[in-house]
Amino acid sequence: MNLQEYINLVHDGKQDWFVSEVNSYYHMNRINKIIDIKEYLSGSHKILNRPAETWNGKTFEPRRIVLQYAKTVLNFSVSYLLKNPVTITGNEKDVKIMKDIYKQGKFNRIDLDIMDKMVKYGACYEYLFINKDGKIKSKIIAPEDSYPIYDEQGNMIAFIEHYTTDYNVSYYNIFTEDKVYKWNDAGGDLNFLGEFNNPSGLPCVYKNLNELDNTEGRSDLEDFINIIDNMEDLISKYTDSIYKFLNPIPVVIGQKLNIKDGKGEIPTNLVGIGLNLDDGSDMKFVHGQLDFESFESVWKVLKQALLDISCAPAVSMNNQDVSNLSEVSIKLLFSLADIKAGLNERYIREGFEQRFKKIEKLLQLQGIEINSDNIDVVFQYARPLNETDIINNIKTMKELGIMSLQTAIENSPMIYDTANEMERLNKENVNNQLE
């Protein structure tokens, strides 16, 4: 099914089909979910809707403690995979051209933004173009402005970027394989702004796995947001209990003396005041007992569940004391984080493959030939390393003659760009021979 067939089938061939497309229930439900996540990450949590209470005849504003654990966990997922820039490998000639493009277009910085949006909102879209200076650049389309259109087989056939400005004018940028159409509704009517060539094609798609929809990603936040809500509810109510139960109530056991015309009653302020009690009577302050052990037990269970489900190691969130760890122990501590990073690497690698294909097409327009199939990327996880042990092992294997120089460089914890380092070593060898 092509785009025109889709328009005829779904929108009865209307010229303004893109307006009804962005207002469809499917897209509105998806965009509302993204906006809800944005509001949550900005601090609008469920605990803030906790109503006021009436206690002891007065209105009491309860504690509403917000825990921004979600940001910490999501930022850890992004930084663990892409804190160290990806290394481009493959054919030497193609790698050199691609590295220059990455440097000019600041693609390593863009990769962090893409990964950040993918783990937060489930999907991210990137459009590649050639700017007026002839350099290949990348534009990240905001998830809440993105409206991909798929055919019956799950293939993207068009893409709409829709947003509304502060002066209440909506813009529609419609991407097809070879054209970009621009519209807006300034003045209350739809206005056609122009038709432009689109050499790079449809935007690149970066999305993670969604069990219910293979064309839409799923936010990592959805897996553990309910746990954080319960942690906020627990600590807020426990804090309220401290203030309530630490307010003692005076209790008199037995008959008080001198009760006449209201005299002899317990005054509201007992400081510096004595009470006359009958023989055998008693007076004491009573306050509730807080079961902090139960609170601590439930809190630990919830926090451990948060760490387990988000695949964040306990040591990364100050939840475990460590010292003098071997390389094997560090790998065990970060085993779940490695598994999660491996999945994220798979998702973002699929987007990189689309990016390389589109860069290849744009370079052909400039008379530069590369083969994107010969280009790959290597990720360096931000796992703590016992560098001394690794370097000693590399040195031993190199001396035994069972490891090549390139493999030694690839496994070195201090070198991230293998191709560049090999090139420098070759130049040094040539200079040494000349000398």
Q: Check whether residue 4 and residue 102 sit in a common domain.
A: yes
pLDDT digits (tens, 9 = 90+) for 157-184: 999 999 998 888 999 999 999 899 999 9
CB 154 within 8 A of CB 214: yes
Looking at 19-23, 139-143, 151-155, 319-323, which range is the least confident one? 319-323
Average pLDDT score over the chain: 84
Residue range of the domain that includes 106? 1-244+292-382
Q: Check whether residue 282 and residue 367 sit in a common domain.
A: no
Q: Check whether residue 180 and residue 309 sit in a common domain.
A: yes
Q: Check whether residue 71 and residue 161 sit in a common domain.
A: yes
Q: Check whether residue 315 and residue 398 sit in a common domain.
A: no
Mean pLDDT calculated for residue range 335-342: 88
CB 231 within 8 A of CB 296: no
Domain end marker among 262, 286, 310 = 286
Written as six digits, the tokens of 420 are 């560049």
Q: Check whether residue 82 and residue 228 sit in a common domain.
A: yes
Q: Is 21 exposed, middle or buried (0-12, 13-18, 19+ CB in 10 A)?
A: buried
Domain end marker among 382, 400, 422 = 382
pLDDT higher at 366 or 413: 366
- 317-348 burial string, b = 16+ CB within 10 Å, else e? beeeeeeeeebeebeebbebbeebbeebbebb
d(CA 359, CA 375): 12
Residue 354: closest CA among 216, 162, 156: 156
pLDDT digits (tens, 9 = 90+) for 74-129: 999 999 999 888 888 888 888 889 989 998 889 999 999 999 999 999 999 999 99
pLDDT on residue 61: 84
pTM, entire model: 0.80
pLDDT on residue 360: 92
Looking at 204-218, 368-382, 394-408, 421-435, which range is the least confident one? 421-435
pLDDT on residue 60: 80
Q: Check whether residue 401 and residue 420 sit in a common domain.
A: yes
Q: Check whether residue 309 and residue 175 sit in a common domain.
A: yes
Q: Check whether residue 26 and residue 70 sit in a common domain.
A: yes
pLDDT digits (tens, 9 = 90+) for 208-263: 988 888 888 999 999 999 999 999 999 998 888 777 666 666 666 665 555 555 55
Q: Check whether residue 317 and residue 220 sit in a common domain.
A: yes
**Overall number of domains in the chain:** 3
Q: Check whether residue 149 and residue 94 sit in a common domain.
A: yes
Q: Check whether residue 430 and residue 307 sit in a common domain.
A: no
Domain end marker among 256, 286, 316 = 286
pLDDT digits (tens, 9 = 90+) for 369-398: 888 888 888 888 888 776 777 788 888 888
pLDDT digits (tens, 9 = 90+) for 51-65: 887 766 778 888 899
pLDDT on residue 259: 55
**pLDDT level of residue 27 (50, 70, 90 thresholds):** very high
pLDDT higher at 392 or 287: 392
